[in-house]
Amino acid sequence: MTNPKGARPSHKGRKRRLNFKRLFLFCILLGVLFITACSGAALCLFADSDATTEQKAAVASLGSRLGRIIFLRDAVENKLQRHDYTTIDQMPQYLKNAVVAVEDNRFYEHRGFDLTGIARASLVNLQKGEVAEGASTITQQLVKNLFLSPEQTLGRKAEELLLALDMEAHYDKEEILELYLNSIYFGSNFYGITAAARGYFGKEPKDLNLAEAALLAGLPNAPSLYSPYVDFLLAKKRQFVVLESMVAHGYLTKKTAEDAKIEPLELAKKNPPKGE
């Protein structure tokens, strides 16, 4: 029998989560040892004075990656823009729910990567014959946004996984969601939820209504396409997807979602420059 939402987890459930945490910490340690070994080998190989500029750069890059994993909190802090930063308690609950519902509905269940999500996305993509659904978790999106290049190599994906596990070991879920919302790109040159709320609606994040929050939650998926300053109708369609996802995952009633769909949206810029 499934525990109702919000119920205290059973001893068995707590033990399972503890085992997961130990497994993930072991994976992180294993990854650190692997990168340390690679770094050591690289240093031995390229330490001589005949090393090329490219070789020295490779050694420096490995050292930087190792430092990022060991001192993750410092690395995150160095990447954050603390001006216009909004803490999680200053964000409306429906904004957080909207982002989780549409981007990573198992966010509170997984530990950085989601095997169930990967399997589901693979099945959907196989059925449609194209990449119609992604499988990256919010944690993976966060580390990609903060640290990684967009290249799709095996090494980069492995580093993404390792960093996601490391992130989950150092931060709780609310902290990860806060970091994500303060660093993700919302289109039209707005980085982070504060800039997006002000830029699109002339409001602080805490003052967003449900309709506005749902629209913003849908933008990071394809910000250059879904920005209401680029294509308002496409932005509205994406907002509908977000609201329906919130209903599907139990965050809203159907009636509340339908009311939000017809709520008027007043953008901060009446006539935005073309190309935004």
Q: What is the pLDDT of residue 269?
A: 86
In our burial notation (b when 16+ CB lie closer than 10 A, e otherwise), range 211-249 reads bbbbbbbbbbeebeebbbbbeeeebbebbbbbbbbbbee
Counting the structural domains of the chain, the total is: 1
DSSP letter assigned to residue 268: S
Domain-embedded: residue 26: yes
Domain-embedded: residue 136: no
CA distance 269 to 230: 12
Task: Give the pair of three-digit tokens for residue 248.
Answer: 């599907």
Domain-embedded: residue 94: no
Q: What is the pLDDT of residue 29?
A: 53
Mean pLDDT in the chain?
80
Q: Helix (H, G, I), strand (E, B), or coil: what is residue 188?
A: coil
Q: What is the pLDDT of residue 136?
A: 87
Q: What is the pLDDT of residue 161?
A: 87
Residues 6+ apart with CB under 8 A from 157: none
Ranges under pLDDT 50 in the chain? 1-15, 18, 45, 125, 130-134, 273-275
Q: What is the pLDDT of residue 38?
A: 54
The pTM (predicted TM-score) of the whole model is 0.76
- H-type alpha helices, the chain: 11-46, 53-70, 72-79, 93-103, 115-128, 138-147, 154-170, 173-183, 193-201, 210-218, 223-226, 232-248, 254-261
Q: What is the pLDDT of residue 151?
A: 74
Question: What is the identity of the amino acid at 3?
Answer: N
DSSP letter assigned to residue 274: T
Domain-embedded: residue 209: no
By CB atoms closer than 10 A (0-12, 13-18, 19+), residue 104 is buried
Neighbour count for residue 114 (Cβ, 10 Å): 22
Domain-embedded: residue 37: yes
Domain-embedded: residue 2: no
Question: What is the identity of the amino acid at 205?
Answer: P
Distances (CA, A) of 101 to 91, 104, 186: 16, 6, 17
CA distance 211 to 243: 8
pLDDT of 163-220, one tens digit each? 999 999 999 999 999 999 999 999 999 999 999 999 999 999 999 999 999 999 999 9
CA distance 272 to 65: 40
| Residue 185 phi, psi (nearest 5) | -90, 130
Q: What is the pLDDT of residue 68?
A: 77
Domain-embedded: residue 53: yes
Task: Give the pair of three-digit tokens for residue 247.
Answer: 């209903």
Domain-embedded: residue 186: no
Domain extent at residue 62? 11-70
